[in-house]
Amino acid sequence: MSEKKFYITTPIFYANAELHLGHTYTLVLSDILARYHRLIGDRTFFLTGSDEHGDKIVRAAQKEGIGPQAFVNGNVAKMQELLKELGISNDLFIRTSDRELHWPGAKKLWHALESAGDIYKGTYKGLYCVGCEAFITEKELVNGKCPLHDTEPEHIEEENYFFKLSKYGPEIKRLLESGELKITPHSKVNEIIALLSSLTGENSLGDVSISRPERAIPWGVPVPDDPTQLMYVWCDALSNYISALGYGSDNEEKFKSFWPADIQVLGKDILRFHALLWPAFLLSAKLPLPRELLVHGFVNSGGKKMSKSLGNVLSPGEFIALYSRDALRYYLAREVSPIEDWDLTREKFKEVYNANLANGLGNLVSRTLKMAEQYFGGVVRGDATHSPSIRTKLTTIEAPGDVAGLNIPYIITNDILPRYHKHMSVSEINKAADVVWELIGHLDQFVTDYEPFKLVKTDKKAAEAVIWGLLYGLREVGQMLVPMMPDTAERITLLVGVSLVGADEMVFNSKAPSEPLFRRKE
């Protein structure tokens, strides 16, 4: 196993309602990257979880007529059920209400900021958006409302603890400009630098409130040595990335082994917290910064960001029930750019499903395995590829030799796999998926060129060479789909039934599927 480690996180999801397709994309994108790094042998730790404190939770619980802990317990149970339905392979689900795992880390981080001289008490007077769980300024409003939640902010005046964010503005700007703090896509780096540059003079980067009075929000992590104040949600929430690794516990070996995070996946609406506040906390605490912030776009529905507060959410359960979780994972992997906004419609989903899964991959697997079973009883031998009676017709790559069955391994080894790994290594999931479907296209063309169903009548050895090449290609398709479509990958591998005989011979003990991988939807 590789000695290289890989630590990936999602943002922790706010436990005030069920997760929608926007959250699903975050989870699936992160899961694909985690599964890929496990596949290549990296020591991998994948974290997700729930953000359970704050004003919104208290208000939502009161509306339901129950306490906040009971309220979040119900929503967290639904979150964890969705993770199972999606096949998410997280190593840990962190909860900010977990007093044993999370609270010690949150409190240790507070003490570190305090020891650095970066916390002081003061009075906050201004605007507060409950939806954002953030204090905002007049200039951020659009027509007097928060642009993300389309609600008017509240006017608040209260005594809080403040963090000296202004102290770290210049260093954060330097880290962004030098690339030491990497943000993908790079346009987001320019966005944060522009924000920092605009916050000068009278608009200088201000210090931020990191607590709320316990009497105002009686639900959160108490400030160390001052139970009259509770940690404000972002100070509490951001620390989950290290508390989950044991930071603040009696045993910090996992923290020492996996921190800093290699990739922290997040939506663009919370970038400023992760690109300004989180690095400042870490700099103050003298902890390493994450290696990369991967910022994805919004899932739009009807042209607007999918949002619980706007009431335009689409349920992932709907697509899983009608198509399958791998069909949903496929769509999110290939049809969505990790760095751009995208719009989802039920019609578009069905069109893509039928074209690329039912008619594409599913049809190729079905007809190849049926030919293998019909003509060779499912047992197709690699040494058949040494037959000289068939010549390659594929012209996309100049393959050495004159044997059709050998052309597929050549294409895969010298073209497909290098590009697949290149894209996966830089989180270009959609481009990696395109490469997989490019191989599927090669295999379809292979059948068209050689027509093994006809060839078997005149040259059975040559037909076996062709079908061996197809099975070899499907085996590689299955391997590349492990991160994106794990159920489908496992099924293809079992159906192809590869076994190695000696050093050079590969024999397939294949079996035709009793049911199609993907049924066409009319």
Query: Among all residues, which ones are annotated catalytic?
Result: 20, 23, 129, 132, 146, 149, 305, 308
Spatial CA neighbour of 331 closest among 79, 323, 321: 323
Count of CB atoms situated within 10 Å of the CB of 510: 27
E runs forming strands in 196-308: 208-209, 211-213, 222-223, 226-231, 263-267, 292-296, 299-301, 304-305
Cα–Cα distance between 363 and 512 in angstroms, integer?
12
**Non-local CB neighbours of 178 within 8 Å, separated by 6+ positions:** none
Spatial CA neighbour of 14 closest among 24, 3, 23: 23
Sign of CA dihedral 315, 317, 323, 329: positive
**DSSP labels, 175-193:** HHHHTSSEEESHHHHHHHH
Do 31 and 90 form a contact (C-beta atoms < 8 A)?
Answer: yes
Cα–Cα distance between 58 and 52 in angstroms, integer?
10
Q: Helices 486-496 & 325-334, crossing angle to 10 degrees? A: 110
Q: How deeply is 514 buried, as exposed, middle or buried, from its count of CB atoms within 10 A (0-12, 13-18, 19+)?
A: exposed
Cα–Cα distance between 442 and 447 in angstroms, integer?
9
The two tokens of residue 204 are 């200088």
